[in-house]
Amino acid sequence: MIFPILHIPVLGDGMTIALDAVLHVLISHGLAIGAVSMVVLFQALAAAGRGAFWSDLGRSLLGPLVIATTSVGAVTGVGIWFITGALAPAGIGSLIHLFFWPWFIEWGAFTAEVVLLLFYYYLWPRLSEERPKALLALGIGYVCMAVLSGILISGILGFMLTPDGWPSGQRFVEAYFNPTFIPQCFLRIFGGLAMGALVALAWTAWTFKGADDERRRALRLCGVVAIVAAAVSGAAGVVYFQRVPQTYLTHWVFAVATSVLSQRPEVLTWLNAGAGAVLLLAALAGVAGRKTASRVLAIPALILCVGLVSEFERVREFVRGPYLLPGYMYANQIPLVQKLAAEKTGMLPELRWVREAREAAPAARSGRALFDADCGVCHSIGGVNDIRQRIAGRTLEGVNALVGITQQMVPFMTPFSGTDAERLTLATYLYALANTNSRPAPQLLLPKKPAAKPAAAAATQGGAKAKEMKQ
Ligand code: HEC
């Protein structure tokens, strides 16, 4: 552990990354890959002499897409780097070392994507009539770069779930071309196309001003593409989840429903089936060329797409359980080998920014540092997955025991890293935290006397207090 730890209060780290990343996935998949591909398809039909309305429709949709992808899409993409770099520097650092080249090439693909998209948009008025084939070449070039970018990232995301052969093999090829790489590429690209076709369907139903027959043809194309793409994406999803280890799959209910709903997994199945049915109905309204039905159904369908994408990303991130990188690093960024070492030599000496750490820091300070290092990535104090609620009503001995069996209690929790004395220090800190009613303020918890008390002694004191409470 080299970097000082930053955790986001109230919202929690996971939710902070998720809010940015899910927005990015929606735009990069649904708009940048999917909807722009529909625009290129429309323009291809215009270029093939199937009617000038295809060109008008495509261009009208392209404007908002250019703005959304080059502003919110690009900024949320950079945001993922920024947020993970701040919250998970060791995790993202390991990934960059392993996957420097795919990421570097992806950066090139992304740059080419933006440049081609801007040329495609700004040259459209000049080229669409005179040289439609040249314009189409720009559009196809853009789609190729967008798809390439999606493929390049899929290998890295797949690795985080199924790092087949790595780290024991330590070979880039095994790590990158892992079992979920190919199905994930299809799942993401065709899922994006299905979403993009629904966006184009909604756009056509709500904004198209041309002849009824033309609108019907456009709606039909969007509906057909949505159904075919969703079917391919769904099939890829089945293969994908078949390749995810079974132990991880048992976590998915917790991932989506949390423990509150986990006892009724059928509710989730029905909700997902219902969402799928609404998407299908919206696409079928398009296939039938119905303007009003398409208008009405496309809106809930798009909202449900947001839900389904969030669900998939949450499951993918959550189910790999205690690991950030299976077999190499725990979710709290502590490498597996370091956890073993910490049992003997302790965790506090690693946390170099805790100034007093080496000369027995005040127990509350050390406790807080241990919480940040071991648990803070998933638990907040007073916000999402509040640790105070999790341990409320327990004695100090109980908390100390719980900290020692986190993984047995909840299989996707990381084990505690540190010595037995440090475990007691953490337990004492948590116990004090759960038994103060005021909002958390670390300085409140500093011992009154700044005496350099050894952690174990402080813990014993806490233990005595716990006994008092019980009596
Ligand atoms: C990888 C994420 C993660 C890490 C790291 C983590 N937890 Fe948890 N923990 C969870 C989740 C998620 C739950 C809630 C499970 C549920 O939905 O009930 C939980 C639940 C708990 C519970 C309640 C368990 C129960 O069944 O009553 C305790 C106690 C707890 N955590 C303590 C800790 C401590 C102490 C640490 C640090 C040593 C820690 N956790 C680290 C994710 C994590």
CB 285 less than 6 A from any atom of ligand 1 = no
CA of residue 399 to ligand 1 center, whole Å: 12
Compute the distance between CA of residue 435 and CA of residue 442 in angstroms, rounded to an integer.
14
CB 385 less than 6 A from any atom of ligand 1 = yes
CB 314 less than 6 A from any atom of ligand 1 = no
CB 374 less than 6 A from any atom of ligand 1 = yes
CB 216 less than 6 A from any atom of ligand 1 = no
CA of residue 447 to ligand 1 center, whole Å: 26
- Give CA separation, 157 vs 187, 277, 281, in Å: 13, 28, 32
Tokens of 4: 């000082």
Compute the distance between CA of residue 245 and CA of residue 193 in angstroms, rounded to an integer.
28
Nearest to 57 by CA among 164, 267, 175, 216: 216
CB 258 less than 6 A from any atom of ligand 1 = yes
Which residues make Cβ contacts (< 8 Å) with residue 180, sequence separation at least 6? 158, 161, 162, 240, 243, 244
Q: Say if CB 328 and CB 400 are below 8 A apart.
A: no
Compute the distance between CA of residue 153 and CA of residue 176 in angstroms, rounded to an integer.
10
CA of residue 390 to ligand 1 center, whole Å: 7
CA of residue 400 to ligand 1 center, whole Å: 14
Compute the distance between CA of residue 30 and CA of residue 194 in angstroms, rounded to an integer.
8
CB 110 less than 6 A from any atom of ligand 1 = no
Alpha-carbon torsion angle 144, 150, 151, 157, nearest 10: 170
Tokens of 85: 């770099």
- Give CA separation, 131 vs 40, 50, 326, in Å: 15, 16, 52
The type of residue at 372 is D
Task: Kindly report the protein residue whose alpha carbon is nearest to atom 5 of ligand 1.
Answer: 375
Identify which of 378, 416, 420, 423 to mutate to test ligand 1's pocket (most ligand atoms within 8 A of the CB). Answer: 378
Could you tell me the sign of the dihedral formed by the alpha carbons of 442, 447, 452, 454, in that order?
A: negative
Cis peptide, bond prior to residue 167, ω within 30 of zero: yes
Compute the distance between CA of residue 390 and CA of residue 388 in angstroms, rounded to an integer.
5
Task: Kindly report the protein residue whose alpha carbon is nearest to atom 26 of ligand 1.
Answer: 409
CA 449 centroid distance within chain:
44
pLDDT score of 249: 82
Compute the distance between CA of residue 446 and CA of residue 52 in angstroms, rounded to an integer.
73
The type of residue at 56 is D
CB 391 less than 6 A from any atom of ligand 1 = yes
pLDDT score of 437: 60
CA of residue 381 to ligand 1 center, whole Å: 12
Q: Say if CB 10 and CB 382 are below 8 A apart.
A: yes
pLDDT score of 465: 39
Compute the distance between CA of residue 224 and CA of residue 263 in angstroms, rounded to an integer.
38
- Give CA separation, 240 vs 128, 162, 181, in Å: 40, 10, 8
What region does 457 belong to: left with phi over 0, alpha with psi -120 to 50, or beta? alpha
pLDDT score of 257: 67
- CA gyration radius for the chain? 26
CB 339 less than 6 A from any atom of ligand 1 = no
What region does 379 belong to: left with phi over 0, alpha with psi -120 to 50, or beta? beta
CA of residue 144 to ligand 1 center, whole Å: 43
10-residue mean pLDDT profile of the chain (471 residues): values are: 83 94 98 98 97 97 98 96 95 94 96 98 96 97 98 95 81 91 98 98 97 98 98 97 88 72 79 96 98 98 97 90 91 94 92 67 83 94 92 94 92 93 95 74 40 41 39 34
Compute the distance between CA of residue 303 and CA of residue 26 in angstroms, rounded to an integer.
11
Q: Which atom of ligand 1 is nearest to the CA of 331?
A: 1
* Residue indicated by tokens 């993984």: 407
